[in-house]
Amino acid sequence: MIKLRKANERGHANHGWLDSWHSFSFAGYYDPAHVQFGALRVINDDRIAPGMGFGTHPHNNMEIISYVLEGELAHKDSMGNGSVIRAGSVQRMSAGTGVAHSEFNPSKQHAAHLLQIWLIPDRQDVAPSYEESYFDVAEKRGKLRLVASGDGADGSVTINQDARLYSGLFDAGETATLALAAGRRAYVHVARGQVAVNGVALEAGDALLLNDEAALHVGNGQQAEVLVFDLA
């Protein structure tokens, strides 16, 4: 079974300094039909104005992934981590028993564009931890590159969940296929550009939800960046 969800069906909040589209119920946006998909709980498509960001705030028992599309994101947390991640970087924070952090756009001139992703962990109250990795364009060009997984395979960041997150870049003529094991489901999010997945044409912000499909096929890309979640 395949279900298309168009970009304009998502929740939207524009706070001036933050323009955010919510794929799932979040903050003031609630849609009982879109609370989560398996363990996938949040995909916020955020654009943060220059010099602005999220002040220090707490999290617990959530796997939080920041995926930067354009610009930079400065991170500080109560574990003592501090870094600036850029386009191509994937940052993972396992909130576990509790952590506080802040996120800011350090540029005074350019907006930051990123995806904030939350997954519900497979176990509660783990010790908080942090990890980040950079995946260059060549690793994702015309293929689905594993960037987050439960076992840290292939240099992916490690999450406390039976889930695998892939990232790919696709232009005309580039194709990729991902086999889906029995009992698995997949969620596709188009971060930018245009692409077709299992014959369905998708644009930036669109999502495709797949249940009981044997495989996922990506092609017909036009400057497309695609995220694929393989979920229990």
Q: Residue 226 is part of a domain; what is its CATH number?
A: 2.60.120.10
Question: Rounded CA gap, 159 and 152, in Å?
Answer: 8
Question: Rounded CA gap, 61 and 121, in Å?
Answer: 7
Per-residue pLDDT tens for 166-207? 999 999 999 999 999 999 999 999 999 999 999 999 999 999
Q: Are 180 and 214 in contact (CB under 8 A)?
A: yes
Q: What is the pLDDT of residue 106?
A: 97
Per-residue pLDDT tens for 65-101? 999 999 999 999 999 999 999 999 999 999 999 999 9
Per-residue CA distances from 45 to 114, 127, 165 (Å): 6, 28, 16
Would you place residue 228 in the very low, low, confident or very high pLDDT band (cuts 50, 70, 90)?
Answer: very high
Per-residue pLDDT tens for 110-160? 999 999 999 999 999 999 999 999 999 999 999 999 999 999 999 999 999
- What is the pTM assigned to this prediction? 0.97
Q: What is the pLDDT of residue 161?
A: 98
Domain count, the chain: 1
DSSP-based three-state secondary structure for 32: coil
Angle among Cα 126, 132, 133 to the nearest 5 degrees reads 135
The domain in which residue 26 lies consists of 2-231
Q: What is the pLDDT of residue 222?
A: 98
